[in-house]
Structure 1
C-alpha cells in the first residue's frame, strides 16, 4: 500500500512515522513545504528520493492509496479537500479545522466523493481508555492540565480541550441531553474551562486548567461501587475496596500506549478492506467544541 505523509513536524516525526515505517506492507511517501526538513526526515527513515515529493500534487500523482495529514491546522481545509477530491482516503490530525463550517464541508466532501476521512482522536484507541468503555460509567471525570499556558478560547478548545470533549463523548453511556460550560478568562485568555455533560443516569465532567501546578491527564470512571482511574494514559488504578495499580510495561511503545498505533492500523485496515472511514461522529465533537467556544465568549463578554 502506498501511503503519503503530508507535513513532517513533531507529531509526524515522534508519533506517526515510527509506526508507519515499521509496517512491512507500507510504501511510504513524504512531502513537506520545507526542502531541508524533507531531506532530513527522509534520510533518517531511509525513504528513497523517488518517494520524496516537493508538493501535494506530486504526492497525489504518485498514486498513493491513503494519506496522513500532519500539517498545521490552518492548512487542513485546503490539503484535506484536495486529497479527498483526488479520491485519496485521508487521516488528519485533530481538529479538522478551526472553523466549524470548514470541518462540516470536509466531512460532507468525504461522503460525497466516497473517499473516506478519519480524524486523529487517538484516545479512543488508547488501551487504558478503551478498557474504561467496558466499566460502569455513572460518573466520568477527566482533567487535562497545563502549566503557564492561558490561551484564546478557539485555540484552547480546538487545539487541546477537544481531546477531553471527544473522550467524554466516547465514554458517555447514553445520549447527551445537557451541556453546561463555565470558564475563567482574563484579558481574552482562558485560564480554565469546565464542561459538564448529562444524560439518562450519567454525568460527565471535563476540566482544563492552563495555570495548573503540573502537566497532567487524569481520567476516572465510576459506577456500581467501583472506580477506575487512568493517570497520564499509562497507569491504571482500580478501586474496589483496596486500590490496585497496573503500570505501563517498560517496553510498551508510547505510540501504542497513547492509541496512535491502533488508530493507524484501524484506518489503514479500513482502507485496505475497501471501507471508507467516516468522520461524521468526529464532526459531532467539533460541533460541541463550537458550542463551548461560543459559551466561553459569552462568559467573557
Structure 2
C-alpha cells in the first residue's frame, strides 16, 4: 500500500509521523511546499519519494492521500484527489462550512471513493473500553448523559475558526446520534471585551440522552474533561489516560496501560487502523459518512446562530 502525506506542519509532525512511519506494509510519500522541511523529514523517516506539488502525486501511483494542511486548503486538495478517485483522509475539519462538506461528499459518492475525516477522539482506547458502544452511537446500556469539555488558555477567536477548527472536536464527540440541525438545542455563547468568541456551551436531548459540548478558550489552563452517566453509575475522565468510575457508592480509578504510547492514548493509532482498512476495502461505512456530514452541518448551523447573536450584541 502506498500513501502520500500532504502538509507536514506541526499536526503531522507531532500526531502522525512518529507512529505511522512505523506501520509495516505501507510505503509513505511526503509532500509539502517547504523544501527544507521536506528534505529534513524525508531523511529522518527514511522516505525516498517526495513532492512539493500535490498535483504531481497522481503520477506517483498512490493508493490514498492524507491531507494535513491548513483548513483553508482542504477543499481544493480533497476535491482534486476525489476527482481522480483516490481515497482521501482529511484532518478535522473537512472544511470550514457545511455547504462545501456536502459538495465533497457528493463528489466522493459519485466517484465511489472513500472520504475519511480524522476525528481521533472517537477512538480513544480508555473511553471506548469503559463507555462501550457510546462513540458508535449504540451504547451497551442506556446512556443518561454525555458531556465533553475542552478548554484553552487565552485563545478567544473569530466565530467560524473557533467552531470549525476547535469546537468541532467536543461537538462531534457528543454527536453520537448524528444530529445535523439546532432544533431543540440550547446554545450559549460568551464574548470577550473585543467581541471575540470566548466560550460556547450547547446541549440537547436525543434518544433519551442529554448531550452537552462546551469550550472555554479564556480558561485558566488547557484541559479536557469527559463525563458520562448511566443508571446508578457514572464516569469522569480528566484526560485521555485517567478516569474514575462511580458505582455502588464507591469510586474506582481507571487508567491506560503504562506501556501505551501517548499518541495511542489519544486515539490516533485506532483511527489510522480504521482508515487503512477503508483504503484496503475501498469502502467506508455509511454510519461514518452520516456522522461526518451531520457534525459539519451542525457546526454550520451553530456558527450561523452565533454570528447572528454577535451582530445583535454589537448593534
Q: TM-score range by the shorter chain?
A: over 0.9
Residue 232 of structure 2, aligned match among 216, 225, 243: 225
Please name the residue that 2:163 is paired with.
157
Partner of 2:137: none
Deviations 1:173-222 (A, max 9, x none): 9x996312111113331111001121242211111111111111100000
Q: How does 1:112-191 map to 2 (within 5 A)?
A: 112-131=110-129, 132=131, 133=134, 134=140, 136-170=142-176, 178-186=184-192, 187-191=194-198
Aligned-pair RMSD on alpha carbons? 1.9
Output the CA distance in 2 between the equivalents of 1:122 and 1:90. Answer: 16
Residue in 1 aligned with 2:33? 33
In structure 2, distance between residues paired with 1:27 and 1:127: 26
How far apart, in 1, do the equivalents of 2:225 and 2:260 lie? 20
Asked whether the equivalents of residues 126 and 256 of structure 2 are also in contact (C-alpha less than 8 Å), the reply is no
Deviations 1:230-275 (A, max 9, x none): 1222212101121111223332112211111111111111211232
Match of 1:92 in 2: 90
2:182 and 2:301 in contact (8 A); partners too: no
For 1:60, which of 48, 58, 61 is the aligned residue?
A: 58
Which whole-Å CA distance do the structure 2 matches of 1:291 and 1:172 have between them?
14
1:117-172 C-alpha deviation (Å, 9 max, x unpaired): 00011111111232322454211111101111111111111011101110111278
CA distance in 2, matches of 1:123, 1:162: 11
Superposed displacement of residue 63, structure 1: 0.6
Residue 54 of structure 1, CA deviation = 1.9
- Out of 268, 271, 282, the residue aligned to residue 279 of structure 2 is 271
Runs of 4+ aligned structure 1 residues displaced above 6 Å come to none
Counterpart contact for 2:174–2:211, Cα < 8 Å:
yes
Residue 205 of structure 2 aligns with which residue? Answer: 198
Count of residues in correspondence between the two structures: 298
Answer whether contact 2:114 2:282 (CA < 8 A) is retained.
no
Q: Which residue of 2 aligns with 1:71?
A: 69
- Show structure 2 runs of 5+ residues with no match: 135-139
2-structure distance, mates of 1:75, 1:195: 29
Conserved 8 A contact 2:236-2:244: yes
Q: Distance in 1 between matches of 2:182 and 2:96?
A: 23
Gaps of 5+ in 1: none
User: What residue is the counterpart of 2:297 in the other structure?
Assistant: 287
Shift, 1:107, TM fit: 1.0
Who is 2:106 aligned against? Answer: 108
- The alignment partner of 2:198 has SS state of strand
TM-score (norm 1): 0.94
Q: Distance in 2 between matches of 1:115 and 1:172?
A: 22
Q: When the two structures are superposed, what TM-score results if normalisation uses the length of structure 2?
A: 0.90
Counterparts in 2 of 1:200 and 1:52: CA distance versus 1, 3 Å: closer
* Distance in 2 separating the partners of 1:283 and 1:171: 12
